[in-house]
Amino acid sequence: MLDIKFVRENPELVKENIRKKFQDAKLPLVDEVIALDRENRDIKGEVEALRANRNKLSKQIGGLMKQGKKDEAEAVKAQIAKDADRIDALSAREKEVEEEIKQRMMRIPQMIDPSVPIGKDDSENVEVKRYGEPVVPEYPIPYHTEIMETFHGIDLDAARSVAGNGFYYLMGDIARLHSAVLAYARDFMIERGFTYCVPPFMIRSDVVTGVMSFAEMDAMMYKIEGEDLYLIGTSEHSMIGKFIDTMHREEDLPYTLTSYSPCFRKEKGAHGIEERGVYRIHQFEKQEMIVVCKPEESPYWFDQLWQNTVDLFRSMDIPVRTLECCSGDLADLKVKSVDVEAWSPRQQKYFEVGSCSNLGDAQARRLRIRVTSPEGRKYFAHTLNNTVVAPPRMLIAFLENHLQEDGSVTIPEVLRPYMGGKSELRPAK
């Protein structure tokens, strides 16, 4: 959410930012907010004047009564009562106007970074750099669920009977590999100085609206019936929510946290053949990283966060690339975003395995996460997040890149301590 003062003073800049995101339908929001803000300030001014006048008149009543001017005193009392009614009416309207401003402000997108490429959707994202040499073996690479089935490692039919489409049972070595990757990612981030955390897996609505846009909320979140609780779509939500309504000393920043959680997503819309199996699902587990920092430090931490994911995947011998997300592919709260994509030998292309985002002060402003400088200056923090690893998709990249011609799967050295020392997995059939 933008600063109302910024919108008031820079309406054309805000509108141009909306155009860059190809959300022209939101352009009227800017003028509506400015008009409502003007009304709100007029209301506050009138209320302040009425209260000052009330105080002035109240002091006159005693003097008029002492002078025996009872009728004049009663007239003053009547004026005070009339002003009180007007104050009540204005105060009620003030609350309505402030809520209307808030609702519109929460739909106006965050100002994007000047470096963000302009484009309508993810088809116009820009490749930044490749890490590792993508390899296409001479032997065929089966679909990832077919690989898992050779290890008796997945049961989609049973999951469908129990929970419906979009769920899975992982079994045996594949389930162990899933857990090994999460454990390795946890220790990888701890080694990089991040504090490990297991957060709540449900959050209240004020946190939901603080960390994401209304459109994202509708597309992603599962609500608990009869409760003011939502299942998290990523631990970033509860991790940033941890700081709601807090004031922090500047010298205590940054906070660097890495968190484990299950994640729950509606995943609305039809999906193609490449998104069946465990690519796009309603439940998965993930290791996340978040940073809360000073505004001037957020560009540095942004680069650190996506680099962590690149380094993690490269340590497991998986080729990756980074993509700069274009303006039309940025969620409304994001200032800048980079996707990390892993190489798929079967598809002979890259696919997304993580997304790194700098949200500027958008989440902090909504959640009231503030910082005090040594001089007493108060301001909103910046927040950032990035996927360390989400094993369902990571397993696809892992299995495809480490599958051997005989059907075995090699285990990189860094994962062997988490796999009981195994250097490879042998198919059961």
Query: Three-state SS string across the chain, please?
Result: CCCHHHHHHCHHHHHHHHHHCCCHHHHHHHHHHHHHHHHHHHHHHHHHHHHHHHHHHHHHHHHHHHCCCHHHHHHHHHHHHHHHHHHHHHHHHHHHHHHHHHHHHCCCCCCCCCCCCCCCCHHHCEEEEEECCCCCCCCCCCCHHHHHHHCCCEEHHHHHHHHCCCCCEECHHHHHHHHHHHHHHHHHHHHCCCEEECCCCEECHHHHHHHCCHHHHHHHCEECCCCCCEECCCHHHHHHHCCCCEEEEHHHCCEEEEEEEEEECCCCCCCCHHHCCCCCCCEEEEEEEEEEECHHHHHHHHHHHHHHHHHHHHHCCCCEEEEECCHHHCCCCCCEEEEEEEEECCCCEEEEEEEEEECCCHHHHHHCEEEECCCCCEEECEEEEEEEECHHHHHHHHHHHHECCCCCEECCHHHHHHHCCCCEECCCC
Cis omega (within 30 of 0) for bond into 254: yes
Q: Which of 206-220, 323-337, 365-379 has the lowest mean pLDDT?
A: 206-220
pLDDT tens digits, one per residue of 281-290: 999 999 999 9
% of residues, the chain, pLDDT over 70? 98
C-alpha–C-alpha distance, residues 408 and 395, integer Å:
15
Domain boundaries along the sequence of the chain? 4-105, 122-425
Q: What is the CA radius of gyration of the chain?
A: 28
**pLDDT value, residue 429:** 65
Q: Can you give the pLDDT at residue 70?
A: 85
- Name the β-bridge partners of 136: none
Per-residue pLDDT, 67: 86
Q: Mind listing the pLDDT tens digit for each residue in 106-135?
A: 999 999 999 999 999 999 999 999 999 999
Residue 21, pLDDT > 70, answer: yes
pLDDT above 90 (res 38): yes
| CATH placement of domain 4-105 | 1.10.287.40
- Is the per-residue pLDDT at 279 higher than 70? yes
Average pLDDT over residues 403-427: 97
Predicted pLDDT of residue 217? 82
Q: Is 319 exposed, middle or buried (0-12, 13-18, 19+ CB in 10 A)?
A: buried
pLDDT surpassing 70 at residue 269: no
Q: How confident is the model at residue 325 (pLDDT cuts 50, 70, 90)?
A: very high
Mean pLDDT of 185-208: 97
Of the listed ranges 3-7, 38-42, 79-83, the least confidently predicted one is 79-83
Amino acid at 265: R
CA dist 429 and 244 (Å) reads 52
pLDDT above 80: residue 369: yes
Band (193; pLDDT cuts 50, 70, 90): very high
From residue 300, how far is each of 88, 95, 193, 254, 291 by CA, in Å? 49, 40, 15, 11, 11
- pTM (2 decimals)? 0.90
Tell me the pLDDT tens digit for each residue of 84-113: 999 999 999 999 999 999 999 999 999 999
* Bigger pLDDT: 149 vs 275: 149
> CATH number of the domain at 122-425, out of 3.40.50.720, 3.30.930.10, 3.40.50.300, 3.10.270.10?
3.30.930.10
Strand partners, 290: 257, 385
> Which position has the higher pLDDT, 66 or 211?
211
Mean per-residue pLDDT of the chain: 94
pLDDT, tens digit, 9 for 90 and up, residues 159-192: 999 999 889 999 999 999 999 999 999 999 999 9
Quickly state the pLDDT bin for 216 (edges 50, 70, 90). Answer: confident
Integer Cα distance of 370 and 361 in angstroms: 10
Q: Is the pLDDT confidence value at 273 over 50?
A: no
Predicted confidence at residue 392, as pLDDT, reads 87
